[in-house]
Amino acid sequence: MANFHDTPSTPSPPQRTPGTGERRLAALLARADIALNGSRPFDLQLHRPGAAARILAQGSLGLGEAYMDGDWDCEQLDGLIQRLLAARLQNAVHPPVLALARLRARLFNLQSRARAWVVGRAHYDLGNDFFAAMLGESMAYSCAYWADADTLDAAQNAKLELVCQKLGLRPGMRLLDIGCGWGSLLRHAAEHHGVQCVGLTISRAQAEWTQQRCQGLPVTVKLADYRSFEVAPGARFDRVASIGMFEHVGNKNYPAFFDVARRALKPDGLMLLHTIGKTRHHEATDPWIDRYIFPNGQLPTLGQITDCVDAAWVTEDVHNFGADYDRTLLAWHAQFRQHWPRFAARYGDRFRRMWRYYLLSCAGAFRARAVQLWQVVLSPTGVPGGYRRPLS
C-alpha cells in the first residue's frame, strides 16, 4: 500500500496578482458592500480580468456589454444593481459616452417624427409570440398593480381596472389610448366598461396583434405617431390615456404631446398619464438601455411634466407606485426564463443574457427607488367640486 506522504504532490498553480483595473473595481464595489468574486449571491464574479478596465472606462454601458459577452456573472443580478444604485456608484464613474449622451440629448431631437419609429422596429416588433410568453394573458407591457394581487395576470388586470376607475369610464364614452401597445387597455375598457376605443401605436406587430385580438369589439387601432393624429372638433374623446409610452416622447416634444391630447379631449374630459420617471433632472438616459433596449428613450422628471401642463391643464391627482415595478419585472423575468427554450434557437445566448440583464437591472433600479412610476390625472379646466381618486 502506498504511503500517502511518499506520494509526489502536484504543485499548486501560482496565484495571479490582480491587475490595476481589478483592484480599482474591487475598491469601487466595496463602497456598495459588493465583493469581487465573493460568495454572496449579489457579488460580482469576474471571468475575464480585462473586463474590469472596460467597466471602469465605459460605466453602465461597459457593465452591460461585458455581461452580455459573458465577462462576468452574478447570481442575484437585481440585488447587485440595487446596491450599485443605492450607493450612487454611477456618480463615481464618468465615461465619455455618458457626456456624449447628454450632449446629443441637448442638441438634437432624438424623438422626432422620423426617429419615433425606430423603437417600434428595434424592440416592440421582436415577436408577438415572444412578448406573449413573457407578459402573460393581458399583454400589458407596463407596471402592474400589486396592492391586492398575487399573480401577474391579476396584478395587470388590477392596473387596467384602476386606470378605468380613475378615468370614470362609462358605457358609450370614447377613449383615445396614445401608445396602446398590444391593446390591453383598449380591450379591458371595451369589454368591461362598454367604451368605444381608438389606439395609436408605432409598432406594426402591436397593431396587427391588437386588431386580431379585439375583433368584435368597438376598438380601432391606427399605426401612427401621435403628432400625425388629428381629431375633428365634433369627434373629440371623453377620455385620453397614455400608458407606458411617454418614456419615448422626449422633453423637446412634451409640449406637442400634451397639445395633441388637449385637442383630442372634450372640455369636460379627463386624461391619465402612466409613465416611468427619474428623480433627478440632470441624469441622462442610461447608455446601455438606449443602445440595446429602448433607442431614443428619455425618462421625464415630475417637474418636467408639471411645467408642461400647468398652463393648459389642471393636475387632479398624482399617484406613485413605482415599487410595484420591481415585482412586475421579476414576474416578467420568471416567465421569460420559463419559456426561453422555445426561443433560444431564434435569438441566441447573447440575447438571453441581454434580456436577463435588462429585466433584472431594471428591477434593481426600482427597488433602489432610483426610478419611479407615476399615474397623473389631468383635466382641461378642473373637475367641478374636485377630483376624488377611487379607493385603491
Residues serving a catalytic function are 362
Please state, in angstroms and rounded to a whole number, the distance separating the CA atoms of residues 284 and 62: 16
Please state, in angstroms and rounded to a whole number, the distance separating the CA atoms of residues 332 and 285: 22
Please state, in angstroms and rounded to a whole number, the distance separating the CA atoms of residues 36 and 24: 11
Task: Find out whether 236 and 260 touch, Cβ atoms under 8 Å.
Answer: no
Please state, in angstroms and rounded to a whole number, the distance separating the CA atoms of residues 213 and 250: 30
Please state, in angstroms and rounded to a whole number, the distance separating the CA atoms of residues 91 and 80: 16
Task: Find out whether 279 and 371 touch, Cβ atoms under 8 Å.
Answer: yes
- Dig out the grid coordinates for 223 from the structure: 399605426
Pairing of strands 371-379, 314-320: antiparallel
The dihedrals phi and psi of 175, each to the nearest 5 degrees, come to: -120, 130
* Residue 347 parent element (H or E): helix 344-347
- Dig out the grid coordinates for 261 from the structure: 391630447
Nearest to 139 by CA among 121, 122, 150, 152: 152
Grouping H, G, I as helix, E, B as strand and the rest as coil, residue 379 is strand
Nearest to 306 by CA among 264, 285, 275, 266: 275
- Dig out the grid coordinates for 230 from the structure: 388629428
How far is the CA of 142 from the CAs of 39, 129, 279, in angstroms? 34, 17, 19
- Dig out the grid coordinates for 284 from the structure: 441622462
The dihedrals phi and psi of 140, each to the nearest 5 degrees, come to: -90, 120
Please state, in angstroms and rounded to a whole number, the distance separating the CA atoms of residues 5 and 390: 79
